[in-house]
Amino acid sequence: MWHSLHGNKDVNMVPHLVTALSGPLLDLEEKILAATPAIERWFRLEWQEHTPPFYCSVDMRNAGYKLAPVDTNLFPGGFNMLATEMLPLSVQAAMAAIDKYCPDARNLLLIPEITQRHPTYWQNVARLMQIFRQTGLHVRLGSLSPDVTQPTPIALPDGNMLVVEPLVRSPNGRRVGLKDFDPCTILLNNDLSAGIPDILQNIHEQSLLPPLHAGWALRRKSNHMNAYDEVVKKFGKLIGVDPWMLNPFHAKCDAVNFRTGEGYECLAANVDALLAKIKKKYKEYGIKDQKPFVIVKPDAGTYGTSILTIKDSSEIKDLTQAQRDKMIVIKDGKEVTDFIIQEGVPTFESIESAVAEPVVYMIDRYVVGGFYRIHAEKGIDQNLNAPGSQYVPLAFAQQHAVPDLKAKPGTAAPNRFYVYGVVARLALLAASLEMERTDPNPEVY
């Protein structure tokens, strides 16, 4: 069964959602829909005070009793997963974003990941280039890889070709570009997990987006979650809901060594404390059929690696050697010692019996689409960002479309997607606060 978002058109299909259609989420959905004018006004006022990240994707979990963002990515790599019908919206949002930084922009330099061998990642890069070319920009690709010393072709699965070129510093040392290409704006689609390369340091005359401190070399999830706590508290007050309905509890532990067991006491104590808080909430809301669990993951970026699902603190000391090894190193061979413990939010959504979670994409302050990440081999309490995951595009109702307020809660796809968009924008606003507060050069902001 498929729903269409725009009347009788066959385009813009959205998958039929099997979801928990009873309980507090419907109450939450009703409250959000009823408060739409107040919510949109509130966001407008917030965006007068804060600059949204250039682009962003948010992984969410709908547990039926709560809907919460569980990961906020400032270097989204799945633009190719968005429904093609959403392209015009992406182009409009990209224009608004570029205008802020470089109104007379002609050239955009896009810097992709260097470790990505996967063809779908390069399709994402191709889609980004398509979006920015449609805003009227010349777009070329510059690589941080020392192996790229001349223009290098990359074949795409659809038969098209991309070319990555070596980056060069301008003679005055203040700008970065390519041979014969001087960009006004440099867009990073590389999360800098491996550290900040010298060639990107001390750029004074160009906009580097997102800024260097958005990369995992400096960024910490715990900072983001602290900012999200604040945002969701204000939002909860605005619409009259318990912020917990939109927010996973969290804690952090530094100096954990899964090789030696150092720092296990901190993990165990925080796991116990969080499980007790979750139990209390479950009791308050009469949630009986879900056992509390937490997720332990690195405080700095992951690609869905180094993640544990834990239901009891005793599991920490009983980890197998293989599990411990998995927790020690993340992307680009970086060793991890700082971890966050996050309330586990099960997902009660499924598509054709595969467990699903929504991922929402934004450019500037606009929702431009999203997709479901689905995984046939994972359970409702497991991380779905793992090998074997698949993607189903979500055609979000346009931002300006009025939700269908007459529909019964839980029955209208546009309403559900509007609610996803609201919660994703709360995470976007939190990312904006996080970037302001962690900026090493605030006066430049």
pLDDT of residue 228: 98
In a domain, 9, yes or no: no
CA distance 364 to 401: 18
My answer on whether 285 and 418 are in the same domain is yes
Question: Could you list the residue range(s) of the whole structural domain that residue 318 is in?
Answer: 17-76+220-436
Report the number of distinct structural domains present in the chain: 2
In a domain, 386, yes or no: yes
My answer on whether 97 and 42 are in the same domain is no
Bigger pLDDT: 92 vs 29: 92
Q: Are 224 and 434 in contact (CB under 8 A)?
A: yes
For residue 376, name the pLDDT band (cuts at 50, 70, 90). Answer: confident
> For the chain, how many residues are written?
445
pLDDT of residue 12: 34
- Whether 76 has a pLDDT exceeding 90, the answer reads yes
- Whether 304 has a pLDDT exceeding 80, the answer reads no
My answer on whether 320 and 245 are in the same domain is yes
With a CB cutoff of 8 Å and minimum separation 6, the contacts of 225 are: 250, 340, 342, 430
Q: Are 93 and 47 in contact (CB under 8 A)?
A: no
With a CB cutoff of 8 Å and minimum separation 6, the contacts of 95 are: 135
In a domain, 248, yes or no: yes
For residue 282, name the pLDDT band (cuts at 50, 70, 90). Answer: very high
Bigger pLDDT: 32 vs 412: 32
- Whether 277 has a pLDDT exceeding 70, the answer reads yes
Q: Are 165 and 151 in contact (CB under 8 A)?
A: yes
Of 217, 244, 277, the last residue of a domain is 217
Q: Where are the alpha helices (DSSP H) in 15-145?
A: 24-34, 36-49, 87-101, 119-133
For residue 273, name the pLDDT band (cuts at 50, 70, 90). Answer: very high
pLDDT of residue 153: 94
My answer on whether 377 and 269 are in the same domain is yes
Residue for token pair 């413990």: 341
Q: Are 59 and 359 in contact (CB under 8 A)?
A: yes
My answer on whether 322 and 386 are in the same domain is yes
My answer on whether 294 and 332 are in the same domain is yes
In a domain, 180, yes or no: yes
In a domain, 11, yes or no: no
What is the average pLDDT across 53-72?
Answer: 94
My answer on whether 342 and 429 are in the same domain is yes
- Whether 14 has a pLDDT exceeding 90, the answer reads no
Of 1-10, 258-267, 293-302, 311-320, least confident by mean pLDDT is 1-10
Q: Are 236 and 246 in contact (CB under 8 A)?
A: yes
My answer on whether 163 and 106 are in the same domain is yes
In a domain, 225, yes or no: yes
CA atoms within 13 A on the CB side of 211: 22
**138-143 β-sheet, strand order:** 152-155, 161-166, 138-143, 107-112, 185-189, 207-209
In a domain, 445, yes or no: no
Strands 339-343 and 294-298, bridge-based pairing: antiparallel
My answer on whether 121 and 140 are in the same domain is yes
What is the average pLDDT across 56-82?
Answer: 94
Of 11-20, 107-116, 343-352, 395-404, least confident by mean pLDDT is 11-20
162 token code pair: 């991309």
For residue 303, name the pLDDT band (cuts at 50, 70, 90). Answer: low
Q: Are 37 and 48 in contact (CB under 8 A)?
A: no
SS3 73: strand
My answer on whether 281 and 406 are in the same domain is yes
The H or E element that residue 265 is part of is: helix 264-284
Of 200, 217, 234, the last residue of a domain is 217
Nearest alpha carbon to residue 427 among 283, 226, 240: 226
Of 152, 183, 217, the last residue of a domain is 217
254 token code pair: 């530094």
In a domain, 288, yes or no: yes
With a CB cutoff of 8 Å and minimum separation 6, the contacts of 195 are: 217
Nearest alpha carbon to residue 338 among 297, 303, 304, 307: 297
- Whether 212 has a pLDDT exceeding 90, the answer reads yes
Q: What percent of the chain has pLDDT over 70?
A: 87
